[in-house]
Amino acid sequence: MKEIDLAYLPVIGRGEQINIICKMHGVKVNYLLSSPMGEDFDKDKQAPFGTIPWMKDHANGLELNDSMAIVQYLVAQYPGPLTPKTNEHSARVSMYWGWVQDYYSFVLSPFHDIITGHNEIFWRNLRLTDSLADGGKDAGITNLTKLHKSRFEFFEKHLSDTGFRPFLTGSECSYADIFLYTCVRAVEETGGFGILREACGGKPFEGFENVSGIVNAVGNIPEIKSSASKFSECPI
Ligand SMILES: N[C@@H](CCC(=O)N[C@@H](CS)C(=O)NCC(=O)O)C(=O)O
């Protein structure tokens, strides 16, 4: 039985890449909408770390409360196209996943706070939204836009240097490619990220041709193409 409960929010965030990975590996997902945006799951009472995503595997009862652990477990437990082929490949994929996770944590997540109006410092489990601490919303947007660009400048240069195509590590799509895809499309298409698009003159990934090429290659995978409309339908 390839079936999991997955608790997350009705947004792209850190949940959609898990949905896509499950789809590509034939794992059925019971998607539970979590507090504060749903009532199927109370993250503060049911998730050990008070965060989401959280998953439970029906086959063995395993519960995991971290997106990287969830994804690495799923591609190892239920092998498919995204399962790394060698130890070296696996390490590279983890590194790229880490890059995207940092981009998400330091750029997209603070933007979520601005978009949703949670602009008080320490609102999420006492987490810092320090880009807002001095100068308010406008300074926050300026600083985060600068960080968005500088992160992608490094990444784009690295991709030019490696020359791997069409995906991050070469001919095989990886779970890190999927996370890069969901983050880039969230910035390009969700309503909330209009503020970052506007701050970038309407072209948040202009000049990042390698990144765009990889994201387009991911978007052309049939299982992914069929759910592409979700980005423009989600708020963030
Ligand atoms: N490293 C964790 C971070 C999880 C995380 O921060 N999730 C956010 C939503 S994307 C959350 O639960 N925020 C609510 C809170 O911190 O109270 C992971 O990747 O799963």
CA–CA gap between residue 140 and residue 118 (Å, rounded) = 12
Q: Which domain holds residue 17?
A: 3-77
Domain count, the chain: 2
Q: Is residue 18 part of a domain?
A: yes
Query: CA angle, corner 192, sides to 178 and 229, nearest 5?
Result: 50
Q: How many CA atoms are closer than 13 Å to the CA of 174, on its beta-carbon side?
A: 27
For the ranges 131-145, 160-174, 209-223, the lowest mean pLDDT is seen at 131-145
CA–CA gap between residue 3 and residue 29 (Å, rounded) = 6
Q: Is residue 236 part of a domain?
A: no
103-124 average pLDDT score: 81
Answer whether 66 contacts ligand 1 (Cβ < 6 A): yes
Residue 220: per-residue pLDDT: 97
Q: Which residue has the tokens 């390009």?
A: 188
User: 51 CA distance to ligand 1 centroid (A)?
Assistant: 4
Q: Are residues 33 and 136 in the same domain?
A: no
- Closest Cα to residue 136, out of 125, 150, 123, 120? 120
pLDDT per position as a tens digit, 120-157? 655 555 455 555 556 678 888 898 999 999 999 999 99
Answer whether 42 contacts ligand 1 (Cβ < 6 A): no
Q: Which of 52, 77, 102 is at the close of a domain?
A: 77
Domain CATH code at residue 57: 3.40.30.10
Q: Are residues 30 and 101 in the same domain?
A: no
Q: Residue with the nearest Cα to atom 2 of ligand 1?
A: 66
Q: Which of 47, 77, 107 is at the close of a domain?
A: 77
pLDDT per position as a tens digit, 62-99? 999 999 999 999 999 999 999 999 999 999 999 999 99
- Closest Cα to residue 16, out of 104, 89, 145? 104
User: 165 CA distance to ligand 1 centroid (A)?
Assistant: 31
Answer whether 14 contacts ligand 1 (Cβ < 6 A): yes
User: 66 CA distance to ligand 1 centroid (A)?
Assistant: 8
3-state helix, strand, coil in the chain (%, to 5): 50, 10, 40
Q: Residue with the nearest Cα to atom 1 of ligand 1?
A: 66
Label residue 181 by pLDDT band (50, 70, 90). very high
User: 163 CA distance to ligand 1 centroid (A)?
Assistant: 33
Q: Is residue 82 part of a domain?
A: no
Q: Residue with the nearest Cα to atom 16 of ligand 1?
A: 124
Across all residues in the chain, what is the average pLDDT?
Answer: 93
- Closest Cα to residue 165, out of 222, 213, 212? 213
Q: Which of 21, 45, 77 is at the close of a domain?
A: 77
User: 72 CA distance to ligand 1 centroid (A)?
Assistant: 17
